[in-house]
Amino acid sequence: MARVGHGILGLVAVAAVGFGLATTAQAAADAAQPPAQKWSFDGIFGSFDRAATQRGLQVFLEVCGNCHGLDLVAYRNLAEIGYDEDQVKAIAAQFSVEDGPDEEGEMFTREARPSDAFVSPYRNAKEAAMINGGALPPDLSLMYKARMGGADYMYALLIGYEEDTGDHGVPEGLFYNPYFPGGATAMPPPLYGDDVEYADGTEATIEQESKDVTVFLAWAAEPNLDARKRLGTKVLLFLIVLTALLYATKRKVWRDLH
């Protein structure tokens, strides 16, 4: 009887997972297909555009980071997109973290260090939900990997907000975006254009800001992508040379045998 019970529970669990996947797939099917974009990091030999990634960091820090966290990325990782040690320290020092306990057993606040993860705008999840009307802003560390369409989806979402004319049945308090599953999102439009003043003088249109922060979030999800591709290219070249040497050796060995 116990085995039968476990079997039934297993079937229920499988059915629940299947239902969840079907629901997710249906929600995704209800969303508009994001237009394909060209990204510098696509393909075997692609890499992150450092200038775009740094501009995307600026957009994240000045706009997105007010609501969203980046818990899986440390400030020291910014060295991989072209910042030197002093610059990384200066970026981290803009934020404070709780640390401790000290020698007296008390917690204290200090400036963030390069070894710290990006500081969350909230003390905890409950505070985040309370401030945002019950909707918990997702952490963006792996958003690039978590959403079907990756960079194309994130870019389309950021520039895709439309005024709801009442034809889409968007509940009050939500915002219409055809690229969001179901079409209604609790996140108001985060970018409007001219939200930041780029340090390199690039014009801060909504398209430019959206593209730059998408590049940054793609890098945040795969900060070692460039290094892996460089290593992969070296391995591929090595295998090509090795194959040529083995083929030449085989020919010589068989020629001598004949």
Tokens 């476990």 -> residue: 6
No. of H helices and E strands in the chain? Answer: 8, 4
- Average per-residue pLDDT for the chain: 86
The whole-model pTM stands at 0.79
Looking at the fold, whether 61 and 145 belong to one and the same domain comes out as: yes
Amino acid at 185: T
- Quote the domain boundaries for residue 234: 228-258
162: in domain: yes
Q: What is the pLDDT of residues 69-116, one digit of tens each?
A: 999 999 999 999 999 999 999 999 999 999 988 888 889 999 999 999
Total domains present in the chain: 3
User: CATH number, domain at 203?
Assistant: 1.10.760.10
pLDDT value at 202 more than 50: yes
pLDDT in tens, 42-76: 988 899 999 999 999 999 999 999 999 999 999 99
Q: What's the pLDDT score for residue 11?
A: 42
Would you list the DSSP string of 170-214? PPTT-EE-TTSTTSEESSPP---S-SS--TT-----HHHHHHHHH
Same domain? 123 vs 217:
yes
Asked if the model's pLDDT at residue 168 lies above 90, the reply is: no
Angle, in degrees to the nearest 10, between helices 206-221 and 50-62: 100
Q: Are 198 and 55 in contact (CB under 8 A)?
A: yes
Residue 92 belongs to some domain of the structure: no
Tell me how far apart the alpha carbons of residues 152 and 29 are, in angstroms, rounded to a whole number.
16
9 shares its domain with 66: no
* Same domain? 212 vs 154: yes
215 and 156 housed in the same domain: yes
| 201 and 141 in a common domain | yes
Q: Which token pair is 140?
A: 């963006």
Mean pLDDT of 181-199: 95
Banded pLDDT at 229 (limits 50, 70, 90): low
Q: Which residues contact 16 (CB under 8 A, 6 or more apart)?
A: none
Same domain, 218 and 235: no
Task: State whether 155 and 233 are in the same domain.
Answer: no
| Residue 39 lies inside a defined structural domain of this protein | yes
- The verdict on 141 and 52 lying in the same domain is yes
Same domain, residue pair 139 and 64: yes
pLDDT at 1 over 60: no
| Strand residues in the chain grouped as ranges (E) | 96-99, 108-111, 175-176, 184-185
**Residues in Cβ contact with 68 at an 8 Å cutoff, skipping those fewer than 6 apart:** 121, 137, 138, 139, 140
The least confident of 96-100, 178-182, 197-201, 231-235 is: 231-235
